Amino acid sequence: MAVPKSLKANPLIVGLDVDTRERALRLVQELSDQVGAFKIGPRLIHRYGESLVRDIAGQAPVFVDCKFFDIPSTMVAAVKASFDSGATLVTVHAQAGREALAELAKLEKSLNQDRPFQILCVTMLTSFSPETLPPVLKSQSIREHVKSLANLVKDSGLTGIVCSGEELVDLQGQGFYLVTPGIRLPLEKAGDQKRVMGPAEALAQGASALVVARPIIEATNPRKAAQEYAVEILKQQK
Ligand code: C5P
């Protein structure tokens, strides 16, 4: 529903995919003037919980990426707990269905009375390729799944979506806030990501924000790596 101005100005979200609080906070300190938000997921949340979200939120918006997928009341409670600990963006699975998403839309609206807060609905993980899709999902292409999940998100009253670069073309221009992981500069390794795209291309195709983790946090000089992304992003914003 709403993201902070700092994230609108700088759409680079750095994924803190590390295991220790010290390493996470060092990256935050090193990069906070280079990025729009930091993303933390279960590997840090399960170790350090609310206190780490709070510490990072004191320096930059925090994206809690735990991809909640549960019954509606449990999802609502989990998203509310993330908000209370200081998160600005939170992921849930779009596949949780209409009832859960509609409840979450109500929650998002009420939390935005307090401060900008955006729920992001994960469509299909960017590590899936047509070959690795779970058998139960093989009846449709990834693009078709993403399009129908995006329609479900919209009908439920939410606007935030996580999708790969390849699906941006189908979702752009419809009022969604589109967050795209699987972003790489030309010579970088894809790792386990199957559907990757460059930052400028993803923004040109309608991405609202980009998530980058390993190419920045595992670089010998993370600050320099983040700056390389910033240059590409600025080129596209001009
Ligand atoms: O290291 P890399 O840039 O591939 O990391 C991407 C980050 O985005 C990871 O933290 C991953 O969990 C997250 N993510 C993703 N695909 C999604 C949703 C989140 O890769 N659909």
DSSP assignment of 149-202? HHHHHHHHT--EEE--HHHHHHHTTSS-EEEE--B--TTS--TT-SS-B-HHHH
**Which residues have a Cβ under 8 Å from the Cβ of 165 and sit 6 or more positions away?**
180, 182, 183, 195, 196, 197, 201, 202, 205, 207
For β-strands 118-122 and 160-162, DSSP reports them as parallel
pLDDT at 211 over 90: yes
- What per-residue confidence (pLDDT) applies to 154? 98
Q: Which atom of ligand 1 is nearest the CA belonging to 122?
A: 21
Cα 200 to averaged position of ligand 1 atoms, centre (Å): 18
214 lines ligand 1 (CB under 6 A): yes
Q: Give the pLDDT band of residue 151 (cuts 50, 70, 90).
A: very high
Answer for the pair 71, 103: CB distance below 8 angstroms, yes or no.
Answer: no
DSSP 32: T
Give the per-residue pLDDT at 1: 66
Fill in the DSSP letter of residue 140. Answer: S
- Going from the Cα of 211 to the center of ligand 1, the distance in angstroms, rounded, reads 7
